[in-house]
């Protein structure tokens, strides 16, 4: 499917079924470590009592963790019958189109200040790459994905983070991206980053706040998992946002 077709699909697809004024916890079903990642996220104060959205079979992981999804979104090809029987039919939102992943469906039907996801970065590499593609396709949606070791998001136009000197900080471009930086060992000022050439992995925090100013969408920010809290705090403070591709 061409990019223009996907944009049209997102514009004319189902309306938002989740509208929240606080962070939303989104659950997928990828990777053996997904249950541990979900447990880690549930301990984060910003996610205490957060609305829960499951992407298709992620409902099973949520139920196994004692969470009742407020919405289950997907084509339901991986939602087990026993799990479905435990769910309120009103929370089930069946999206039949097969051009996008269940994560894409769930993210574009959820409106929240930030979505924090577990169960999207483990397991099959093709599933992980597809999840990163979803972030690139929807730059206007603030979404943090957590894995066994890292948390990541698509960097907004302007972000200031309070991190610890020596922390690992990676910048990985999903497209050709330029920007400026403060507070890291190897600044990106004047550089053109792109996936088939120069990238910004394994950089390091020096001192003081880190500031990243990115010119166009497409830059992944990857941090060690303990940096989840300062990342969520930084995203909540940042007013700068990418426009919707469908807008």
pLDDT above 70 (res 103): yes
Helices (H), 109-221: 125-137
Question: Rounded to the nearest 5°, which phi and psi values hold at 4?
Answer: -65, -35
CA–CA dist 41, 44 (Å, integer)? 5
**Residue that the structure tokens 């700068």 belong to:** 240
C-alpha dist (Å) from residue 215 to 18, 159, 240: 30, 12, 11
Question: What is the overall mean pLDDT for the chain?
Answer: 92
pLDDT of residue 246: 66
Exposure pattern of 91-112 as b/e (b: 16+ CB <10 Å)? bbbebeeeebbbbbbbbbbbbb
pLDDT tens digits for 28-60? 987 778 999 999 999 999 999 999 999 999 999
What is the separation of C-alpha 148 from the centre of its chain, rounded to a whole number of angstroms?
15
* The last residue of a domain, from among 115, 148, 181: 148
Q: Are residues 178 and 204 in the same domain?
A: yes
Q: What is the CATH number for 203?
A: 3.40.50.10240
Domain count, the chain: 2
Q: Are residues 13 and 110 in the same domain?
A: yes
Give percent of the chain above pLDDT 70: 94
Q: Are residues 197 and 138 in the same domain?
A: no
pLDDT of residue 11: 40
pLDDT above 60 (res 5): no
* The last residue of a domain, from among 148, 165, 189: 148
Structural domain of residue 228, as residue ranges?
A: 149-239
Q: Are residues 189 and 215 in the same domain?
A: yes
**Residue that the structure tokens 């972000």 belong to:** 159
Listing DSSP states for 21-68 in one string gives SS-EEEE---STTHHHHHHHHHTSGGGTT--EEEETTHHHHHHHTT--
* The last residue of a domain, from among 148, 180, 196: 148
Q: Which of 120-124, 184-188, 203-207 has the lowest average pLDDT?
A: 120-124
Neighbouring-strand partners of residue 25? 52, 116
């Amino acid at each position: 499917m061409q990019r223009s077709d996907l944009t049209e699909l997102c514009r004319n697809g189902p309306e938002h079924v989740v509208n929240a004024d606080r962070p939303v916890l989104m659950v997928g079903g990828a990777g053996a470590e997904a249950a541990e990642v979900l447990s880690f996220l549930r301990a984060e104060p910003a996610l205490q009592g957060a609305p829960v959205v499951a992407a298709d079979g992620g409902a099973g992981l949520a139920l196994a963790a004692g969470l009742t999804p407020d919405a289950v979104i997907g084509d339901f090809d991986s939602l087990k019958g026993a799990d479905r029987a435990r769910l309120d039919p009103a929370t089930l939102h069946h999206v039949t189109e097969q051009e996008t992943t269940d994560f894409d469906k769930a993210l574009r039907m959820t409106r929240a200040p930030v979505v924090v996801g577990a169960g999207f970065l483990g397991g099959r590499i093709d599933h992980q790459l597809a999840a990163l593609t979803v972030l690139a396709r929807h730059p206007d949606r603030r979404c943090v994905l957590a894995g066994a070791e890292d948390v990541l998001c698509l960097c907004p136009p302007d972000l200031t983070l309070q991190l610890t000197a020596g922390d690992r900080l990676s910048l990985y471009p999903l497209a050709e991206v330029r920007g400026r930086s403060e507070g890291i060992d190897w600044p990106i000022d004047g550089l053109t980053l792109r996936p088939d050439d120069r990238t910004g992995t394994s950089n390091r925090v020096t001192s003081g706040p880190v500031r990243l100013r990115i010119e166009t969408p497409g830059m992944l920010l990857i941090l060690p998992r303990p940096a989840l809290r300062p990342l969520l705090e930084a995203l909540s403070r940042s007013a700068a946002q990418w426009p919707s591709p469908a807008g």
